[in-house]
């Protein structure tokens, strides 16, 4: 093989003796290289500095398991939010979590528009339900930040977009504390409502009530209280997919406990900018402050300014007590003083600062414990918050209320607080004040006129209690309830219509978006209460 050697030896010292001769072709090649380098920089620079589209908005590949449907309960737009950021969108949905292997890995594109400006974002998905449980449908919260003055909200997938309605959250409330009550269905025990409402009012909480269905006269009673500004009523809708392009799994029978988590999440999002504290409660969960004159005082005392407390977790002690059928004879004192504590307990409930929460499960937020939180943009070490278990106070859970004759109502003693088992649950003076105020309202003409129509016996309660016991409580108490085997749901309860006792049911105008892969979206507008459906779920 022939070896080629450089014909002239040179060094840095001798190089100057051999001046470089410029060739026109070499000059053209050099200019073309510089131009191509400049053009490449001009193309890449916008991508580098456009962090939204280049750094954050490129979704990772997630395998699609099936085409499914999602129901949108509500969508909120926050121009300013203490915790969601500016121009935030929060969408409460019930979504088939088996759309992809892990539903929170799936990305949804959100578009916000104002006049001619449009901004697209990849939203984050979170859920309060366990990803490995048996229920196919779960609460999924969709969050993103769009543009100022947003007037149009769209969801996009595969080039197909659908516009969805949105609303503003509340920025004022009657009280600094709001209690979000789980959705009521086939509700008839109006005595429980009176107990919850008047005790909550005495200690400074506003009651926000979700209603699927209830006996008509009971609904009219609540409407009169709503006119007084003492309660807010929100229709809680049955999930419907009006138009589909194929068979689908029925959502109402395959979501945990009628999706209470979605209702509580909606309530937190609705009031998060308006109140200091939000309580997650069932109608029969009664909380009475211990060594405080109001809920606000107790909650502020227990939080104590700490950034490490995610929620105040109150345990629930089961009680059985009495109730009477006559409206004019109602007495909170009689209900409390005839209560007997049962040996059983129920899972507790949370009371939260809404700026630290965006969602909640039925009893607490599963996203709250040991989750790293960053409160400022420059924070390098996260805070890990935890629930605070309340040792000195507990919830008075009226698990069973038995109808009794007025002549059999005895004047017993106030039970001890179920938290510390020492102090009195409530003072006699406060009971007297509550009863006097309740009596003044119940004797007002529009409410007193309802006395003859309110249920005097229990019709739906025994049916619902048996259904819940068979599908849930019995399994739980015998320690045979397995989340990955059983979807706890009472939607299959058979509820016959009671003769002479009509029901009021929530309803709305339902809409379906265009077919989208893998998720088609459905929603409702113009929610109202109807007397034509009855107490069916």
3-state secondary structure of 328: helix
Q: If you search the block for the tokens 């088992």, which residue do you land on?
A: 421
pLDDT tens for 419-456 read 999 999 999 999 999 999 999 999 999 999 999 999 99
How far is it, in rounded angstroms, from Cα 491 to Cα 526?
A: 24
pLDDT tens for residues 191-223? 999 999 999 999 999 999 999 999 999 999 999
- Write the DSSP symbol of residue 412: -
Q: CA 303, CA 312: separation in Å to the nearest integer?
A: 8
**Average model confidence (pLDDT) across the chain:** 88
Q: Is the pLDDT of residue 372 over 80?
A: no
pLDDT, tens digit (0-9, with 9 covering 90-100), for 233-274: 999 999 999 999 888 899 999 998 888 999 999 999 999 999
All structural domains of the chain, each given as residue ranges with its CATH number in brackets, are: 68-164 (2.60.40), 177-495 (no CATH)
Q: How far is CA 478 from CA 113, 400, 470, in A?
A: 54, 20, 12
Q: Facing residues of 152 across strands?
A: 113
Can you spell out the DSSP letters for 85-149? -TTEEEEEEEEEGGGSSSGGG--EEEEEEETTEEEEEEEEEE-SS-TTSS-SEEEEEEEEE--TT
Query: How much is the pLDDT for 53?
Result: 39
Helix pair 190-202, 428-442: axis angle to 10 deg: 120
Average pLDDT over residues 8-18: 41
The structure tokens 């100057």 sit at 16
Cβ contact 244:112 at 8 Å = no
Round to whole Å and give the CA distance between 336 and 332. 6
| Range 62-85 burial, b when 16+ CB lie within 10 A, else e | eeeeebbbbbbbbbbbbeebebbe
95: which 2 tokens? 């979504």
H runs (alpha helix) in 155-234: 190-202, 216-227
* 146-173 per-position pLDDT tens digit: 999 999 999 999 899 999 999 999 999 9
Check residues 273 and 4 and name the one with the higher pLDDT.
273
Q: What's the pLDDT tens digit per position in 290-313?
A: 999 999 999 999 999 898 899 999
Report the C-alpha gap between 358 and 348 in whole angstroms: 19
Phi, psi of 346 (to 5 degrees): -125, 165
Q: How far is CA 91 from the centre of its chain?
A: 10
pLDDT at residue 47 greater than cutoff 70? no
Percent of the chain with pLDDT over 70: 89
pLDDT at 59: 58
Most confident of 357-366, 388-397, 407-416: 388-397
Q: 438, 197 in Cβ contact below 8 A?
A: no
Name beta bridge partners: 280: 180
Asked if residue 120 lies in contact with residue 57, where contact means CB atoms within 8 angstroms, the answer is: yes
Would you call 74 helix, strand, or coil by DSSP? strand
Residues 6+ apart with CB under 8 A from 136: 96, 97, 98, 249, 254, 255, 487
Share of the chain above pLDDT 90, in %: 68
Mean pLDDT, rounded, for 502-507? 96
Using pLDDT thresholds of 50, 70 and 90, give the confidence band for residue 38: confident
- Has residue 49 got a pLDDT over 50? no
Helix then strand then coil, % of the chain, to nearest 5: 25, 30, 45
Note the pTM of the prediction, 2 decimals: 0.86
**Does residue 398 or residue 482 have the better pLDDT?**
398
Each residue of 85-98: pLDDT tens digit?
999 999 999 999 99
Q: Cis (ω within 30 of 0) for the bond into 119?
A: no
Strand pairing report for 309-323 and 383-384: unpaired
CB atoms < 10 A from the CB of 254, how many? 18
What pLDDT does 130 receive? Answer: 87
Tokens of 315: 């345990």
């Amino acid at each position: 093989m022939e070896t080629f050697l450089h014909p002239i030896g040179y060094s840095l010292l001798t190089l100057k003796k051999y001046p470089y001769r410029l060739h026109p072709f070499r000059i053209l090649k050099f200019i073309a290289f510089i131009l191509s380098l400049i053009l490449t920089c001009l193309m890449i620079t916008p991508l580098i500095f456009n962090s939204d589209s280049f750094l954050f908005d490129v979704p990772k590949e997630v395998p699609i398991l099936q085409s499914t449907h999602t129901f949108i309960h509500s969508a909120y737009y926050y121009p300013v939010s203490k915790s969601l950021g500016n121009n935030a969108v929060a969408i409460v949905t019930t979504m088939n979590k088996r759309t992809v292997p892990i539903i929170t890995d799936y990305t949804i594109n959100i578009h916000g528009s104002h006049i001619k400006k449009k901004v697209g974002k990849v939203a984050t998905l979170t859920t309060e339900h366990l990803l490995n449980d048996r229920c196919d449908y779960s609460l999924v919260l969709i969050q993103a930040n769009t543009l100022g003055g947003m007037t149009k909200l769209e969801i996009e997938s595969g080039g197909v977009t659908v516009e969805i309605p949105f609303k503003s959250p509340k920025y004022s409330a009657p009280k600094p504390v709001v209690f979000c009550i789980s959705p009521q269905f086939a509700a008839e025990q109006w005595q429980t409502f009176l107990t919850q409402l008047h005790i909550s009012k005495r200690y400074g909480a506003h009651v926000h009530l979700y209603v699927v269905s209830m006996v008509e006269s009971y609904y009219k009673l609540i409407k009169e209280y709503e006119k007084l500004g003492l309660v807010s009523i929100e229709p809680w809708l049955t999930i419907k997919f009006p138009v589909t392009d194929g068979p689908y799994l029925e959502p109402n029978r395959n979501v945990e406990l009628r999706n209470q988590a979605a209702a509580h999440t909606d309530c937190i999002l609705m009031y998060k900018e308006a109140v200091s504290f939000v309580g997650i409660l069932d109608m029969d969960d009664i909380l009475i402050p211990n060594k405080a004159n109001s809920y606000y005082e107790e909650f502020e005392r227990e939080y104590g300014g700490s950034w490490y407390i995610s929620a105040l977790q109150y345990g629930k002690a089961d009680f059985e007590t009495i109730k009477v059928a006559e409206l004019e004879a109602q007495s909170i004192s009689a209900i409390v003083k005839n209560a007997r504590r049962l040996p059983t307990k129920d899972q507790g409930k949370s009371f939260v600062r809404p700026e630290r929460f965006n969602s909640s499960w039925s009893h607490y937020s599963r996203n709250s414990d040991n989750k790293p939180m960053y409160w400022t943009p420059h924070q390098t070490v996260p805070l890990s918050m935890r629930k605070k278990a309340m040792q000195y106070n507990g919830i008075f859970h009226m698990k069973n209320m038995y109808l009794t004759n007025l002549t059999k109502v005895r004047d017993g003693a106030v039970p001890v607080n179920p938290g510390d088992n020492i102090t009195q649950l409530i003072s006699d003076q406060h009971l007297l004040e509550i009863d006097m105020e309740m009596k003044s309202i119940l004797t007002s003409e529009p409410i007193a006129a309802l006395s003859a129509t309110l249920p005097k016996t229990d019709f739906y309660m025994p049916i619902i209690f048996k259904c819940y016991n068979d599908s849930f409580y019995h399994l739980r108490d015998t320690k045979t309830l397995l989340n990955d085997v059983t979807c706890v749901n009472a939607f299959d309860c058979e509820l016959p219509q009671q003769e002479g006792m009509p029901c009021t049911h929530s309803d709305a105008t339902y809409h379906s978006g265009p077919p989208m892969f893998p998720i088609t979206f459905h929603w409702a507008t113009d929610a109202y209460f109807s007397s034509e459906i009855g107490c069916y779920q």
